[in-house]
Chain A
Amino acid sequence: MWIFLRRRLLTSAISLVGVIIVVFFLARLTGSPANLYLPESATQEQIDEFNRLNGLDQPLLVQFWNFLVGAVRLDFGDSIWQRRPALDVALAAMPPTLTLAGIALGLSLVIAIIAGSIAAVYRFRFPDRAISVTTLTISSIPDFWFALVGILVFAVQLRLLPTSGYSTASAWILPTATVMLAPIGVLTQVVRGAMIDALGAGYVQNARARGFGTARLVARHALRNASLPIVSVAGDRAAGMVNGSIIVGSVFAFPGIGTVILGAVLNRDFAVIQASVFVVGVGVILVNIAVDAIYALIDPRVRVGAGKGK
Chain B
Amino acid sequence: MAIDSKGARAVLLPDATVSRTGARLTLHRLLHSPSALISSGWLTLLVLVAVILPPLVETAANRQDLSLRLLPPFSLDNGPMFILGADGLGRPELLQLIVGTRTSLLVAASAVAIAAVIGFAIGLISGYFGGWVDEVLMRIADIMHTIPSLLLALAVLYVLQPSIANLIIVLAITRIPVYLRVARAQALELRERVFVESSRAVGAGDWRILRTDLAPMVLPTIRTVAMLEVASVLLAAAGLSFLGIGLQRPDVDWGMMVADGRPYLATAWWVTVFPGLVIVLTALAANLLSNWLRAAEDPSQAARFIRRPRMRKAAR
Contact = CB atoms under 8 A, between A and B. Distances in A.
A265 B287 contact: no
Given A136-B287, A144-B242, A30 B148 contact: no
Size band of the interface chain B makes with A: 35 or more
Interface stretch (A49-57, A82-90, A277-285, A297-305): A277-285
Contacts, number: 140
Contact of B279 (A142, A151, A156): A142
A148 B265 contact: yes
Contact of A273 (B155, B276, B279): B155
B156 A145 contact: no
A242 interface: yes
Given A142-B238, A242-B150, A250-B243, A265 B266 contact: no
Given A19-B146, A136-B288, A140-B283, A145 B159 contact: no
B143 A18 contact: yes
Contact of B151 (A18, A144, A242): A242
A239 B243 contact: no
A125 B309 CA distance: 11
A284 to B, nearest CB: 5
Given A137-B284, A145-B272, A250-B243, A243 B148 contact: yes
Which applies to chain A's interface (DSSP): helix, strand, loop or mixed?
helix
A58 interface: no
Given A11-B142, A142-B279, A277 B151 contact: yes
A250 B242 CA distance: 10
A265 B265 contact: no
Interface of B: 35, 139-140, 142-143, 145-151, 154-156, 158-159, 231-232, 235, 238-239, 242-243, 255, 258, 261-262, 265-266, 269, 272-273, 275-276, 279-280, 283-284, 286-288, 291, 304, 310, 313-314, 316
Closest 4 CB pairs of A and B: A145-B276, A140-B283, A242-B148, A140-B284
Interface of A: 11-12, 14-16, 18-19, 22-23, 26-27, 29-30, 121, 124-125, 132-133, 136-137, 139-145, 148-149, 151-152, 156, 200, 205, 208, 214, 239-240, 242-243, 246-247, 250, 261-262, 265-266, 273, 277, 280-281, 284-285
